Amino acid sequence: MNNASPVDGSSSRLHVVLGAGQIGPRVADLLLARGHRVRLVQRTRRAPERPGLTSVCGDITDLAFAEEATRGASVVYDCMNPPYHLWAEQLLPIARGAVHGASKAGARLVALDCLYMYGVPDGPMREDSPRRPCSRKGALRVELEEMRLAAQRRGDVRVAVGRASDFFGADVPLSAWGDRFYARALAGKAVECMGDPDMPHSYTYVEDVARGLVTLGEREEAMGHIWHLPTAPAESTRALARRLGRALDVEVKVARLPRFVLRAAGLFSPFLREAAEMAYQWDVPYVIDDSRFRHAFGWSATPIDRQVAEIAAWARNKYGLAAPPQPATAISAGRA
């Protein structure tokens, strides 16, 4: 294994990021920008190395590898998430590997989580909302929460859990705002929503997810608690899609994906087969309350207009879209 070496002239601590999917690399970038040394750990391939960043690959469920991969860390960020259809087999063993590694390193553990354990909400979801899972994946998330917090109670590891709603952002291929969204929108086809597109639904900006996790890793008072990461006020999926469409100068139509179509697609796609049981999230107001985090750490989600502008700039570059028209400049009085 390649051990991280200090940046020249730096006495920064080592931070280990587990997972190189939609969030892990963003966390690594933020840590590097703050002058830390970073080791990025992923299952199957090494990430390109650069100043301050080293990369290793291996199976974190192998506790010997988990211990070696996290050796020397001051903070370990668990951003791992196996494919939906492998959750029953892999979710808990992967998280146990992260707990084991952080414990052996004497490091803080910051773990990314979702909202599935709350089930069908009857109001804004808070950290103390009842755990009432209505899906197999929600039940697994309850087990995962208990495993992590039990390790904290035993004194094995100091852990903070950061929970986000569905991701919104640039380059999030496994979200509702991935390539399929743009392929359909740019072709003039309706983009799809798994439930009612007019129901309020919280989407958490991925840049805020990464920043929120780094904040938790920096603050001792975050340890031992669950935190809802900063999330912009909920609006409907249709409204958010139209915002993004206006920024791209594209009319975006949104249609509800019928359940029978979702179930039929699941016959051919393991992901869609597992996604079907989560469609309830778009049938009721699905709203996250992030006030505890905001009050504790003093910052809020990126304003929605800025989120959309940043995503649109990325999409224009990725999909080769023309730049937005510039407003006409008024001719000064007395000039031809």
pLDDT over 90 percentage in the chain: 83
- Identify any residues that bridge with 54 across adjacent strands, giving them in sequence order: 39
Q: SS3 for 88?
A: helix
Domains annotated on the chain, with CATH = 14-169+203-232+287-301 (3.40.50.720)
Strand pairing class (200-201; 235-236): antiparallel
Digit-coded pLDDT (tens) for 88-97: 999 999 999 9
Question: One-letter amino acid identity for 197?
Answer: P
Q: SS3 for 155?
A: coil
Q: What is the dihedral sign for C-alpha 315, 81, 141, 16?
A: negative
C-alpha distances (whole Å) from 24 to each of 19, 31, 39, 78, 253 are 5, 11, 11, 8, 32
Q: What is the dihedral sign for C-alpha 217, 220, 223, 226?
A: negative
Q: How does residue 189 score in pLDDT terms, banded at 50, 70 and 90?
A: very high
Say yes or no to pLDDT of 110 above 50: yes
**Which stretch of DSSP H or E encloses residue 18?**
strand 14-18
Provide mean pLDDT across the span 12-33. Answer: 96
Q: How does residue 70 score in pLDDT terms, banded at 50, 70 and 90?
A: very high
pTM of structure: 0.92
Digit-coded pLDDT (tens) for 223-250: 999 999 999 999 999 999 999 999 999 9
pLDDT over 70 percentage in the chain: 93
Say yes or no to pLDDT of 4 above 50: no
The confidence score (pLDDT) of residue 326 equals 66
Task: At 108, give phi and psi (nearest 5°).
Answer: -70, 150
